[in-house]
Amino acid sequence: MFTGIVEEIGTVKSINMTGKSGSVIIKAKKVLEGTKVGDSIAVNGVCLTVTSITDNGFEADVMAETVRRSSLSVCRGNDEVNLERAMAADGRFGGHIVSGHIDGTGTITSLSREENAVWVTIRADAGVIRYIVEKGSVCIDGISLTVAKVNNDNFSVSVIPHTAGQTTLLKKRAGDIVNLENDIVGKYVERFLGIEQNRSDGITMEMLNEYGF
């Protein structure tokens, strides 16, 4: 598990793909501290398993499903990426529960400044938007952020200067693709209640009684 609090910005040294899978080598420093082969590191929000470590970076395998679901399909050498080690049991929970399992990607449609903050609006598919709620949490490229606005096909966050300085988000432009992970709580609630995406009746007293509420 992760928290969405980025520890450092790393750099993609190389991506080696064979077909739709392969491996990636990331130049990093801070996230190497205490890290061992087999540990997890979130790369732009994607949970990857460390397969080898050097003095200035690490390597991780990337499977085809990860490429399909994430922006790693368009990642190139020298791209900057947000990095976070898996949360330590005695660490502070500064963001929200982040699994590192991407739900899909979104496209930045606009960035606009409002005093000391910057509004970032992202267009996403209906399957992602359905779990996004105003004032709820969303993980964008591994960054835990609060949703400020949500519409039928897009949502917006307001990025403070500290977050801007510690992550890659405001280095992006309109048209760039970002990884999105919804708040895991909403997905589990939907699953446990057996709510199907095409149901129109929603949660009823009969449904709650059926499931013991």
Q: How confident is the model at residue 2 (pLDDT cuts 50, 70, 90)?
A: very high
The answer to whether 84 and 140 are in contact (CB under 8 A) is no
Distance CA 200, CA 21 (A): 39
Q: How confident is the model at residue 90 (pLDDT cuts 50, 70, 90)?
A: confident
Q: Is residue 196 predicted with pLDDT exceeding 60?
A: no
- Give the pLDDT of residue 120: 98
Q: Is residue 38 predicted with pLDDT exceeding 60?
A: yes
Decide: pTM greater than 0.85. Answer: yes
* Interacting residues of 108 by C-beta distance below 8 A, sequence separation 6+: 120, 121, 122, 172, 173, 174, 175, 176, 177, 178
Residue type, 114: E
The answer to whether 105 and 177 are in contact (CB under 8 A) is yes
CATH number for the domain formed by residue range(s) 104-182: 2.40.30.20
Of 123, 85, 118, which Cα lies nearest the Cα of 104? Answer: 123
Beta bridge partners of 104: 180
Q: What is the pLDDT of residues 159-183, one digit of tens each?
A: 999 999 999 999 999 999 999 999 9
* Average pLDDT rounded to a whole number, residues 63-88: 92
* Average pLDDT rounded to a whole number, residues 36-42: 97
Give the domain ranges of the chain: 8-85, 104-182
Q: Is residue 200 predicted with pLDDT exceeding 60?
A: no
Q: How confident is the model at residue 208 (pLDDT cuts 50, 70, 90)?
A: low
Most confidently modeled of 43-57, 81-95, 196-210?
A: 43-57
Domains 8-85 and 104-182 share a fold: yes
Residue of 213 and 76 predicted with greater confidence: 76
CATH number for the domain formed by residue range(s) 8-85: 2.40.30.20
The answer to whether 104 and 124 are in contact (CB under 8 A) is yes
Query: Cα separations (Å) of 213 from 1, 47, 205?
Result: 29, 35, 9
The three-class DSSP label of residue 48 is strand
* Interacting residues of 213 by C-beta distance below 8 A, sequence separation 6+: none
- Give the pLDDT of residue 191: 80
Which tokens in the block code for residue 111?
């960035």
Residue of 174 and 89 predicted with greater confidence: 174
* Average pLDDT rounded to a whole number, residues 44-57: 97
* Average pLDDT rounded to a whole number, residues 12-25: 91
Q: How confident is the model at residue 194 (pLDDT cuts 50, 70, 90)?
A: confident
Distance CA 123, CA 84 (A): 25
- Give the pLDDT of residue 192: 79
